[in-house]
């Protein structure tokens, strides 16, 4: 029986279609990333290398944009755990991508305080302009739009995070302009937004 008498026992929400077999080049860190990894793994006790799985996966993602099955196996070997252990982690945390994503991943916060301040219209503006739905990548491979839950800056709603850079108090018009800027100037359009918002008041 399920936990509630009226509940059918289907858990479609939690199914995943990924497998860990993959053709293609094996993955390896660049020498810089190997050095970074070595400097991180020493923060944990020597018999607890597994603790470094999140930092190790971040290095993978910064190196090649998303986490492939080959990379999961590489990380597993580095840490002395199984590939299944690594996949377990990758599939749990929302910040790892297992499929290629656009150059800019636009994370729009959708939780209550942002929603009260019009986050849905920001999403609509962005999606409308790119002609895609949340979760999709635009045909040029530049933008991926994702709806995320509270980012922890609700006083500056609506909040949008593009890759690791934050854009706060973003009206739909600002969002539209940001897309144009990103297309025209690339990453340069991202810098300092967070502090720009603050300095306007300082």
Question: Which residues in this chain contact other proteins in the complex, by CB under 8 A?
Answer: 2-4, 6-7, 11, 13-14, 43, 45, 48, 50-55, 57-58, 79, 81, 85, 88-89, 92-96, 107, 110-113, 115-121, 124, 128, 148-157, 161, 164-166, 168-171, 174, 194, 197-198, 200-202
SS3 of residue 83 by DSSP: helix
Residue 137: other Cβ atoms inside 10 A: 18
Q: Is 118 in the site for ligand FES (CB under 6 A)?
A: no
DSSP state of 12: G
Under the binding rule (CB under 6 A), the answer on residue 113 touching ligand FES is yes
- Of the pair 87, 125, the CB lying nearest ligand FES is at 125
* Choices 65-73, 80-88, 122-130, 154-162 (CB under 6 A): range interacting with ligand FES: 154-162
Report the length, in residues, of the chain. 202
- Residue 175 binding ligand FES, by CB under 6 A: no
- Residue 63 in contact with ligand FES, rule: CB under 6 A: no
* Contact call for residues 65 and 101 (beta carbons, < 8 A): yes
For 162-196, the DSSP string reads: ETTEEE-S--HHHHHHHHHHHHHHGGGGGTTHHHH
Query: Which range in 40-48, 63-71, 121-129, 145-153 contacts ligand FES by CB under 6 A?
Result: 145-153
3-state secondary structure (DSSP) of residue 144: strand
Per the CB < 8 A criterion, the answer to whether 106 and 184 are in contact is: no
Residue 15 site contact among other proteins, ligand FES, none (CB < 5 to 8 Å, cut-off depends on kind): none
């Amino acid at each position: 029986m399920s936990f509630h008498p009226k509940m059918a026992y289907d858990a479609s929400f939690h199914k995943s279609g990924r497998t860990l077999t993959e053709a293609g080049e094996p993955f390896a860190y660049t020498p810089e990333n190997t050095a970074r990894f070595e400097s991180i793994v020493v923060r944990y006790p020597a018999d607890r290398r597994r603790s470094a799985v999140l930092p190790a996966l971040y290095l993978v993602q910064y190196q090649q944009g998303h986490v492939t099955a080959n990379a999961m196996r590489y990380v597993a070997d580095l840490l002395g755990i199984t590939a299944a252990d690594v996949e377990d982690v990758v599939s749990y945390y929302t910040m790892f991508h297992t499929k290629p994503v656009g150059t800019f991943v636009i994370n729009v916060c959708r939780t209550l305080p942002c929603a009260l301040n019009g986050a849905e219209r920001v999403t609509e503006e962005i999606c409308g302009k790119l002609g895609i739905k949340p979760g999709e990548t635009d045909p040029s491979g530049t933008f991926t739009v994702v709806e995320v839950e509270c980012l922890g800056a609700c006083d500056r709603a609506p909040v949008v995070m593009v890759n690791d850079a934050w854009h706060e108090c973003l009206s739909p018009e600002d969002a539209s302009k940001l897309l144009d800027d990103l297309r025209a100037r690339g990453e340069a359009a991202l810098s300092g937004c967070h502090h720009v918002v603050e300095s306007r008041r300082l």
